[in-house]
Amino acid sequence: METITLHTKHTTYQMGILEHGFLLHLYYGPKAEGEMDGFLSYYDRGFSANPYELRDQREISMDYLPLEYPCYGNGDHRSPAFRMRTADGVFAADLRYQSSRTVPGKYAIPGLPAVYAGDQEAYTVEVLLEDKASGVEVTLLYGVLPKLDVITRCAVVKNNGTEPIFLNKAASMSLDFLDGDYELLHFYGRHAMERMAERTPLCHGSQGFGSRRGSSSHQHNPFVILTRPETTERSGCCWGVSLLYSGNFWCEAEKDQFHQARLQIGLLPEMFDYPLAPGEVFFSPEAAMAYSGKGLAHLSHIFHRLIRRHVCRGRFRDVRRPVLLNNWEATYYDFDGKRLLDIAREAASLGVELFVLDDGWFGVRNDDNSGLGDWIVNEEKLDMTLADLSHQIHRMGMQFGLWIEPEMVNEDSALYRQHPDWAFQIPGRKPVMGRNQLVLDFSRKEIVDHVLEAISQVIAGARIEYIKMDMNRSISDVYTAVSGYQNYGTIMHRYVLGVYDFLERLSARFPDLLIEGCNGGGGRFDAGMLYYTPQIWCSDDTDAIERIQIQHGTSFGYPVSAVGSHVSAVPNHQTGRSVSLHTRGIVAMAGSFGFELDLNHLTDREKEEVREQIRTWKDCWSLIQDGLYYRLHEPSRHPDSAAWSFVSPDRQEMLLNIVTLDTHANCPVPHIRCMGLDPKRQYQELSSGRLFPGSALMHTGFPVPVVPGEYNAWQYHFIAVN
């Protein structure tokens, strides 16, 4: 069989071209030479129909063969990657292989985030498929990054026919496996409790999750792992897929009648109805895939490296981010310039480098019922201009940052009174309200232009080095006033393109801005957003103990540098729990570190501790950001203590973090089995000076100190000696 083979350093991916151009998926796994079509078993299978040209070869059916980009209409009754409809309402397609070519470098996607790489670091394989009857072409793009062991995918659909068609499904990737002995590891959650890891066996039928909220959502994350049942952090096979997209998506894992598996991710097909006139082209969002034969930790490391170096952009990609203090939990809406400066002064004196003014500085905004959309500084409330405030903060030696929520509008705002039709609302119906606000139709360029202009003026009018871009409700009542595009079927995708356009243009205008993403915390924590914002506020839950679980789930697909994490006040505002400043600091250091409280309220001893935390973070940031992150506890198996470590790429240093989650009388001693160390070296723990063999740290494990009390935490710095 003619094959198309992609090799990375440690993996191989293969497609096969069956007679009459049916494109099969033959292999994705550890590096292998040769052709894989010998693994297929052909026989006449009941109720699995045959293509017309092969009607005499009843052993050939699209209904069981592993397919590269399955389409609805040629006999495959499993979940298709591609489904289109004609103007007459007929669903049919039969995509057949035409040609393929390899070009140097990594493709880009117009208007959408995509992995980038130098011409020496990547190559692109283009595989052209065609549906003869309609003239529709689908080009499958594969970006191969050999050194990283990553393959990206995107489908480009072109209507080369004479009649319009409607896309109903165009997945970013589809991966078939010849057996179904797998487990699905995915990340579900809710507001203030995002990305909880859940691992379930793959069952017959389909398991799916996704978002129909307009953002990638708190509830499900567009990152998924398929593992062998025996796979652990330390060993075993697993495949990860990350969708670079920040809106509605759908991920589906299917186990078919022959116990074979299929994994897909892409735009949410539900109500997706995208017209393509003759000559028009549609680009799917990109999916990045990786295979690890060395367990989950290694798979995560591949995605961490990919996102850090080939997704995040801009001048903050590799550098230490400033230690920030955000006033949200310190003041909420209740501030004036003087109160902010009081907070800032104390922050500066303790070593904070960036002061962020959160919600409430614009329009009439003293609670969350009004003002969104009016991006005009409320100088009366501040009792000074924003330029003055920023100037005074700079004089304290800090940078200045600002919160925005560009996609939103309150009914009680000048913008809404002037342009009620700019908000999503369906004529004749009352809209669903979220936080008493409506969503602006960012699928319309003139609306994006207006908001971008207004916010740019504010940024240009004061010295501003950082922006936190928020989004505080799910999208509903989708209807646009632009004729021809009223339906949900196109707007939700074009809305996301509008958000990306806003971010792209904002960064182009202000290339030195550090932009932090946010969606009521981590409701848009995805690789698409990280293309524009190198860090994202991980969750509105700042409780250190809950954060451990949130950051644990987040770490499977995303690097520590992407995680906005702050020390906040106790009792915690979300849970009412009190945890020591020490523990809060250790948890917040597993991210882009900052504070979210009024430091004036701390005792002198606590202030000294804050100084010390900032010093530690500055000393260790490179180990934290550039080191390899290891999850050292499995929450369901080790409910009493959590642990994670950062190990430098040369295995010279380790920062081991431990937090106890429960306390017992006469308790057993948990041992934290470290990972990623050099088994042949001794490691010195700096605070005690004691030596530990690397191999034993990984086998016996480091003993968790037995100290009475709740939520104790330790951070141990180990350095290898010869």
In the complex, minimum distance from the CB of residue 609 to ligand DGJ, in angstroms, rounded to a whole number: 24
Segment lying near ligand DGJ (by CB under 6 A), choices 119-127, 487-495, 514-522, 602-610: 514-522
Cis peptide before 278 (omega within 30 of 0): no
In the complex, minimum distance from the CB of residue 304 to ligand DGJ, in angstroms, rounded to a whole number: 24
**Site mask for ligand DGJ (CB under 6 A), range 323-342, x = bound:** -----x--------------
Question: Per rule CB under 6 A, is residue 520 in the interface with ligand DGJ?
Answer: yes
Nearer to ligand DGJ, 290 or 438 (CB): 438
Question: Per rule CB under 6 A, is residue 541 in the interface with ligand DGJ?
Answer: no
- In the list 27, 69, 209, 403, the residue contacting ligand DGJ (rule: CB under 6 A) is 403
As given in the structure block, the two tokens for residue 705 are 């100190």
502's enclosing H/E stretch is helix 488-509
- In the list 225, 244, 340, 518, the residue contacting ligand DGJ (rule: CB under 6 A) is 518
As given in the structure block, the two tokens for residue 474 are 């799910």
Give the pairing type, strands 399-404 and 466-469.
Answer: parallel
Check: CB of residue 223 under 8 Å from CB of residue 172.
no
One DSSP character per residue, 624-680 reads HHHSEEEE---TTT-TTEEEEEEE-TTSSEEEEEEEE----TT----EE---S--TT
Q: Which residues contact 348 (CB under 8 A, 6 or more apart)?
A: 355, 393, 396, 397, 398
Nearest to 200 by CA among 208, 192, 210: 208
In the complex, minimum distance from the CB of residue 412 to ligand DGJ, in angstroms, rounded to a whole number: 16
Segment lying near ligand DGJ (by CB under 6 A), choices 121-129, 240-248, 513-521, 626-634: 513-521
Question: Per rule CB under 6 A, is residue 472 in the interface with ligand DGJ?
Answer: yes
* 568 SS3 class: strand
| Residue 330 DSSP one-character state | H
Give the pairing type, strands 399-404 and 238-244.
Answer: unpaired
In the complex, minimum distance from the CB of residue 403 to ligand DGJ, in angstroms, rounded to a whole number: 5
In the complex, minimum distance from the CB of residue 529 to ligand DGJ, in angstroms, rounded to a whole number: 14
The residue nearest ligand DGJ at its CB is 359
Helices (H) and strands (E) in the chain, counts: 13, 37
Nearer to ligand DGJ, 176 or 358 (CB): 358
Question: Per rule CB under 6 A, is residue 521 in the interface with ligand DGJ?
Answer: yes
- Residues of span 677-696 touching ligand DGJ by CB under 6 A: none
- In the list 359, 465, 541, 653, the residue contacting ligand DGJ (rule: CB under 6 A) is 359
- From the list 526, 546, 609, 653, the catalytic residue is 526
Check: CB of residue 7 under 8 Å from CB of residue 146.
yes
In the complex, minimum distance from the CB of residue 537 to ligand DGJ, in angstroms, rounded to a whole number: 5
Distance of alpha carbon 196 from alpha carbon 522, whole angstroms: 12
Nearest to 102 by CA among 119, 125, 118: 125
- Residues of span 307-326 touching ligand DGJ by CB under 6 A: none
Nearer to ligand DGJ, 192 or 697 (CB): 192
**Mind spelling out the 3-state secondary structure of 283-298?**
ECCEEEEEEECEHHHH
One DSSP character per residue, 174-206 reads EEEES----EEEEEEEETTEEEEEEEEE--SEE
Residue type, 474: S
Question: Per rule CB under 6 A, is residue 546 in the interface with ligand DGJ?
Answer: no
**Site mask for ligand DGJ (CB under 6 A), range 180-219, x = bound:** ----------------------------------------
Question: Per rule CB under 6 A, is residue 489 in the interface with ligand DGJ?
Answer: no
- In the list 82, 182, 537, 644, the residue contacting ligand DGJ (rule: CB under 6 A) is 537
Catalytic residue at 126? Answer: no
Catalytic residue at 388? Answer: no
From residue 396, alpha-carbon distances to 164, 339, 348, 355, 616 in Å are: 61, 15, 6, 10, 22
In the complex, minimum distance from the CB of residue 176 to ligand DGJ, in angstroms, rounded to a whole number: 39
- Tell me the Ramachandran region of residue 693: left when phi exceeds 0, alpha when psi lies from -120 to 50, beta otherwise: beta
Size of the site for ligand DGJ (CB under 6 A): 11
Segment lying near ligand DGJ (by CB under 6 A), choices 151-159, 190-198, 517-525, 700-708: 517-525
Question: Per rule CB under 6 A, is residue 470 in the interface with ligand DGJ?
Answer: yes
Nearer to ligand DGJ, 537 or 558 (CB): 537
Residues that bind ligand DGJ (CB under 6 A): 328, 358-359, 403, 470, 472, 518, 520-521, 537, 540
Catalytic residue IDs:
526, 606
